[in-house]
Structure 1
Amino acid sequence: MTVHRINPSILSADFVNLQHELERITTADLVHVDVMDNHFVPNLTMGPPIVERIQAVSPIPLDVHLMITDADRWAPGYAEMGAYSVTFHAEAAADPVSLARRIRDIGSRAGIALKPGTDPEPYLELLPEFDQVLVMTVEPGFGGQKFMAEMMPKLRRFADAKARLGLDLWLQVDGGITVDTIGMATEAGADTFVAGSAVFGGVPEDRIAELRAAAATHRH
């Protein structure tokens, strides 16, 4: 049976009351932490000191998504903080395989993310080097954007490669995930879903349950 992981994005949380917000999503699988540097994407969120505090108080593991330049330099530090999963962008890493191996050696899961315009082809045979692939279903940088259904063929290519290679690989989607779009992503092979306003825009526990139920009604 497919496990459907729901990872709320704290990009949609109340930044003044982050600890309280984390305590509202204890029924989620991981908390998605968006790190943006205003270089790789045109937005600035948080850096190592805040992520370290989130790691210290979060009741669920951290799924860190680095939307930053020079990932080769900075990503290992997030693994050293104890993040359960560290995902960096293919477009921001000089040597994605070496970086993934460093992250794994430290003890975190290593993920690679692809922006909507990035060709999946160069990464399909590298999949054994990663624990997660994040297919962006919006342009990274801001929450609340519309889900890009045209990314589903890319997701299917990763799902097919995962099956062909027999991998225990998480396929994550991030951007515009709601109860209306999660089924489309599930059918294309996703098993891990980042949702921001779809969770924090209501009672998080109820919203998480609704997303799980919507995902469960569809199968790859």
Structure 2
Amino acid sequence: MINPRARSKVKCSHFFNSGLCKAIRLDILRPSLIRSICVRNTPFMALVSRLRTIVLALSLFYATFYPALASVIYTPTSYQTACHFHGRCLARGVEWLDQRIDELVEYWRHDRYRLPRNWTIKERQHLKEVRAMYDQLVWGLPIALILLLAFANQKQMLAAARFNTLFVVSLLLLIPVFNPFWKEVFHPLLFDNLMWKNNRADTSWYFMPKTFFRVSTIYIICATTFVNLIIWQWLRISSRRRTE
């Protein structure tokens, strides 16, 4: 009769290529070794594989999405380029516009503690809230990169890149309904006030209308899709070469 207090040790080594793992049980009361073969293709392992693919997809999405977003937020070029798609920028002159854009970019980068008084109190308060959100988004990039390195697997990365490519490009369907989405969904979801609404008295009215955000959204979607597409195709070609 086996003593219930007896302890056993289980040593399991995984062979991912063969899909099998050997479990060798060493029982203190039994000198013999009890060997069994366990198949990785179990419901539990299938669930783990799916969760791993989801983590990779989310991490890859953020790692490719955030650089595009950051290039819009933290560079003056994005604001100046968007001016070609609307006429408000010219209302106050190029010199005035460049100064205001530089002030905003410096504020996003924390090179400036606060915006000057030529920005209204309302928009300064709103942009303070927005900057706090941007600061939090920064931490997502190193987390995403760490998860990518920790769970990197060619087959699952291929599936993640393919999913991201199709998902991100589908976001272009929002563009035809961008205005109601921007006003009725996006801002009410993030803010519990109406300070995000600007008017002619606000500095941001002249170079950050809805057209700026629409153009920026299209750019971010296209840039993120392009990077995921490159990764998808590169992994697909690499996988084919290995099987040949």
**Structure 1 length as normaliser, TM-score?**
0.23
Point out the structure with the larger strand share: 1
Point out the structure with the larger helix share: 2
- RCO comparison, higher one (Cα < 8 Å, 6+): 2
Which protein has the larger Cα radius of gyration, Structure 1 or Structure 2?
2
**Structure 2 length as normaliser, TM-score?**
0.21
